[in-house]
Amino acid sequence: MKNSAIDAIMHPESLAVVGASTTPGKIGYTVLENLVKQGYTGKIYPINPSADEILGLKCYHSILEVPGTVDAAVMTIPAKLVPQAVEECGKKGVKGLIIITSGFSEVGKRELEEQIVDIAHQYNMRILGPNIVGVLSNSDKMNASFAPYLPLPGKATLVSQSGALLIAIDASTYTRGVGFDKLISIGNMSDLDFADMIAWLNDDPNTSCVTLYVEGFKNGRRFMDVCRASSKPIIALKSGVSAHGAAAAASHTGSLAGAAKVYGAAFEQAGVVQASDLDNLFDRTLALSLQPPMKGDNLLIITNGGGVGVLATDAAERYDLPLKFAPAEVQAELKKHMPEFGSAKNPVDLTGMAGNEWYHDAIKFAYAHNWVDGLVVLYCETAVTDPLEIAKSIKSALDESGTKGKPVTVSFVGGERSEKAMSWLVDHGIPAYGAPDTAVNAMAALREFARMKEMVNESVAACGEEGRAEALKVIEHARAEGRDSLTEIEAKQVFSAYGLPVTRTKLATSEDEAVAIAREIGFPVVMKIVSPDILHKSDAGGVKVNIKDEAAVREAYRAILTNARNYKSDANIHGIAIQEMAPWGTEVILGSVNDQTFGPTMMFGLGGIFVEVLKDVTFRVAPVATSQALRMLAEIRGAPILAGIRGEEPRDRKVLAETICAYSNMILDLADEIAESDANPVLVYAEGKGVKVVDARIILKPRP
């Protein structure tokens, strides 16, 4: 049912234009004109209560007067008239609505927007919009929008949350030479959202890559699920990554843009390739729409110029595809297709003497060789070669190689002749770019897609589920006392219930008890204030470490109580925690937030100044699979510290990654209870020696 409504919107056999206007320049006129003049072959019904004919078509005063069936309706009438028009469409049996009209949630009129969705759903209709430009489709020759013309034809489909940007992109497809089959404006996403369109496009034979311009989602998890299930490459440009940008995006679309790092993490976990800016979105879209994914790490670069070769080599490292030398037998064969002074290493330098034949033979061999996972061909225009002939040699070499399913990108550096040759290549399915850096970046997108696809369906290890009852008991106890935070002891009980390795801790309410517990645990011990009113214990002089004997325990007991009372005289003090003193280890932080778009989300970073000053932290939406946890450890700037620097042994990243997984399972399982939490610090030991959580904090969600 759902898909048939989207089908009706995307391929209507009959389309009503509700609000068709007789006045050129008005949106209601432009939409009708675009449909009539740009090749749409379905039936078009202009609807206008006071016109009889527009652009040579019979005009109906109400959609209910249209004689035949109507699959979809485009609306351009003022917002206040939309509810009634939606009702009439429902009565008429229309399946899908393209609501161009603005003046809904984006200007605060949320109720009006909810009203039209409710009416539409009563009639099993779906809504695209409101506040959109419309839908443009080359394969249906349908321009159901007020954008001026259909985009340059291509294999990608753009779904854009910004209407103005969609129109600008429409025009620039011609100048950039990057084509699209469809441009879909989704505006306020009152009903159909990114997830619906991605799911539908996955079955669209005319779309090979889904390109997204995103300002913010309402339901981040559903987006992730749909992307994971999609077999096609999806690439997203997310705006609003700066704090100021996020505010602009929020007021502009009526939806809130979440933290940039969390979006980045969600895209990675969902297998969505990211673009860094608008140019990059086009460049990467071109490669993703024309070429297969790059399934391994071995990139080979073939060039006729040392300079562009070095630029490409630098770019390869920058985009996480560092070059390796090709095996000896590959080098030996390539040597046959270059002069004595050429280089068969990687980049393969055929030298400025290279003509069509050397390019052809070197590419044909390299592309077919098993070692090569992806090929970037570079060419600098020379006096003795014709760029178009080189382009044709590249194409025929690939065709003759007998190999398929391996990606190629190309860069020609030169003038007008090179531009023409590159257009020829793109027309023949080979993405070509004016700079070597861009060709490598496009290849990196194909690699990222393949790499993420391998990871996204990895299942998350189940753990700690038996701990739920125990954790809830601790939480209920705190709630019963009217608290919205747990003490360190309680938080550690919850962590421990989910299998996290915490330091052994017990509460003492008298000096004698403190001594007895310290003996039981074994010296040295750490002593800390336990008070729901003191969250940062060190600030209150509430932490004493390395306490070595009974006398020191008694002294610390008194000192901590005095410090705490001086810090906050009315603090409710539960007692003093006596805990095992963990040996020195590398300090890291694990934490969680409840992201408004994606829900429970994990944070990881190194402790101390790394987190406080450098904000060197990374996120993943829970649950976090082990491979993703390992990527978190690798992607912070301080990663070398975990790998072991200055002769230090590498840290136990395996156990740390498992701890992140377990922690992420806990925050997901307790999503209704935990608002925020952290384990700060967690001490990480040498490989094989594990980790220890020495401090724990949990803030509870208010009960609804």
Decide if residue 591 touches ligand ADP (CB under 6 A): no
**488 vs 673 by CB, closer to Mg ion:** 488
Residue 526 carries which side chain, given as an amino acid letter? V
Query: According to the binding rule CB under 6 A, does residue 531 interact with ligand ADP?
Result: no
Residue 162's binding partner among Mg ion, ligand ADP, none (Cβ under 5 to 8 angstroms by kind) is none
Residue 503 near which of ligand ADP, Mg ion, none (CB within 5-8 Å, type-dependent): ligand ADP
C-alpha 636/C-alpha 644 separation (Å) is 14
- Does residue 543 bind ligand ADP (CB under 6 A)? yes
Least CB distance from residue 545 to Mg ion, whole Å? Answer: 12
Number of Cβ within 10 Å of residue 203's Cβ equals: 12
Is the Cβ of residue 545 or residue 630 nearer to Mg ion in the bound state?
545
- Write out the binding residues for ligand ADP, residues 485-514 only, by CB under 6 A: 503
287 versus 578: smaller Cβ distance to ligand ADP? 578
Residue 128: phi, psi to the nearest 5? -100, 120
Residue placing its CB nearer to ligand ADP in the complex, 124 or 562: 562
Sequence-distant (6+) residues with CB within 8 A of 399 are none
Other C-beta atoms lying within 10 Å of the C-beta of residue 586: 21
Distance CA 197, CA 554 (A): 67
* Stretch touching ligand ADP by CB under 6 A, among 61-69, 259-267, 431-439, 577-585: 577-585
Residue 695 interacts with Mg ion (CB under 5 A): yes or no: yes
Distance of CA 67 to the CA centre of its chain: 47
Q: Which tokens belong to 641?
A: 């510290």
Nearest-approach distance from CB 695 to Mg ion, in angstroms:
3
Residue 564 interacting with ligand ADP (CB under 6 A): no
Residue with tokens 């002749």: 417
Binding segment for Mg ion among 123-131, 163-171, 570-578, 695-703 (CB under 5 A)? 695-703
Give residues with Cβ within 8 angstroms of 416, minimum separation 6.
none
Angle 517-522-527 from CA coordinates, rounded to 5°: 60
Total residues binding ligand ADP (CB under 6 A)? 14
**Residue 262 binding: pick among Mg ion, ligand ADP, none (C-beta 5-8 Å cut-off by kind):** none
Tokens of 102: 């603005």
3-state secondary structure of 600: strand
Question: In terms of CB distance, is 88 or 695 closer to Mg ion?
Answer: 695
To the nearest whole angstrom, how small is the minimum distance from the Cβ of residue 538 to ligand ADP? 3
Q: Which is nearer to ligand ADP, 122 or 538 (CB)?
A: 538
Using rule CB under 6 A, residue 538 touches ligand ADP = yes
- Judged by CB under 6 A, the residue of 140, 191, 215, 695 near ligand ADP is 695
Q: Which is nearer to ligand ADP, 447 or 506 (CB)?
A: 506
Compute the least distance from the CB of residue 582 to Mg ion, in Å. 13
694 binds, among ligand ADP, Mg ion, none (CB under 5 to 8 A by kind): ligand ADP
Angle at the Cα of 162 (from 71 to 180), degrees rounded to 5?
65
Q: Which of 234, 623, 666 is nearest to 458 (CA)?
A: 623
579 binds, among ligand ADP, Mg ion, none (CB under 5 to 8 A by kind): ligand ADP
Considering only 425, 526, 530, 547, the residue that binds ligand ADP (CB under 6 A) is 526
Number of helical H runs and strand E runs in the chain: 24, 30
Q: Are 46 and 26 in contact (CB under 8 A)?
A: no
Nearer to Mg ion, 119 or 502 (CB): 502
In angstroms, the CA 59 to CA 17 distance is: 10
Which of 125-133, 282-290, 536-544, 618-626 is the region at the interface with ligand ADP (rule: CB under 6 A)?
A: 536-544
Compute the distance between CA of residue 348 and CA of residue 76 in angstroms, rounded to an integer: 58
Contact partner at residue 543 from ligand ADP, Mg ion, none, CB < 5 to 8 Å by partner kind: ligand ADP
Query: Min. distance of Cβ 679 from Mg ion in angstroms?
Result: 9
CA atoms within 13 A on the CB side of 689: 13
Contact status, residue 129 vs residue 98, Cβ threshold 8 Å:
yes
Separation of alpha carbons 162 and 165, rounded Å: 5
Q: How far apart are CA 667 and CA 497, in angstroms?
A: 12
| Gyration radius of the chain's alpha carbons | 31
480-509 positions binding Mg ion, by CB under 5 A: none
Nearer to ligand ADP, 69 or 538 (CB): 538
Q: What is the smallest separation between the CB atom of 508 and Mg ion, expressed in angstroms?
A: 20
What ranges make up the beta strands (E) of 288-349? 299-303, 348-349
CB 227 within 8 A of CB 272: yes
Instruction: Please say which residue, 238 or 528, places its beta carbon nearer to ligand ADP.
Output: 528
Residue owning tokens 């919009």: 129
Number of residue whose CB is nearest Mg ion: 695
Query: Which lies closer to ligand ADP via its Cβ, residue 193 or residue 695?
Result: 695
CB of 536 to Mg ion, least distance (A): 8
3-state DSSP assignment of residue 71? coil
Rounded-to-integer distance, Cα 357 and Cα 122, Å: 66
Task: Using CB under 6 A, pick the residue from 155, 337, 406, 528 that binds ligand ADP.
Answer: 528
Closest to Mg ion by CB, 283 vs 490, is 490
Of 316 and 491, CB closest to ligand ADP: 491
Q: Which does 250 bind (CB under 5 to 8 A by kind): Mg ion, ligand ADP, none?
A: none
Choose between 277 and 539: whose C-beta lies nearer to Mg ion. Answer: 539
- Of 104-112, 122-130, 298-306, 534-542, the segment contacting ligand ADP by CB under 6 A is 534-542
User: Which CB sits closer to ligand ADP, 369 or 537?
Assistant: 537
Site track 673-692 with Mg ion (rule: CB under 5 A), x = hit: -------x------------
Instruction: Rule CB under 6 A: choose which of 579, 592, 601, 628 binds ligand ADP.
Output: 579
Residue placing its CB nearer to ligand ADP in the complex, 406 or 544: 544
From edge to edge, which strands make up the β-sheet containing 505-508? 505-508, 575-580, 525-530, 543-547
> Which tokens belong to 514?
């403190």
- With a CB cutoff of 8 Å and minimum separation 6, the contacts of 549 are 523
The SS3 of residue 704 is: coil
131 binds Mg ion (CB under 5 A): no
Shortest CB 641 distance to ligand ADP, Å: 16
Under the binding rule (CB under 6 A), the answer on residue 699 touching ligand ADP is no
Give the CB-side neighbour count of residue 437, counting CA atoms within 13 A: 6
* Vertex 221: Cα angle to 269 and 183 (nearest 5): 85
Identify the residue whose tokens are 């690439």. Answer: 235
- Please give the backbone phi and psi of residue 640, each rounded to the nearest 5 degrees, phi first: -60, -25
Task: State the pairing for strand pair 126-128/96-99.
Answer: parallel
Residue 140: strand, helix, or coil: coil
Q: Could you tell me where the beta strands, DSSP code E, fall in 406-540? A: 408-413, 432-433, 485-486, 505-508, 525-530
Q: Candidates 7-15, 203-211, 443-451, 574-582 — which segment interacts with ligand ADP by CB under 6 A?
A: 574-582
681 φ/ψ angles, rounded to the nearest 5 degrees: -95, 165
Q: Kindly tell me which residue out of 364, 369, 537, 544 binds ligand ADP, with binding defined by CB under 6 A.
A: 537
- Interacting residues with ligand ADP (CB under 6 A): 503, 526, 528, 536-538, 543, 545, 579, 581-582, 681, 694-695
- Interacting residues with Mg ion (CB under 5 A): 680, 695
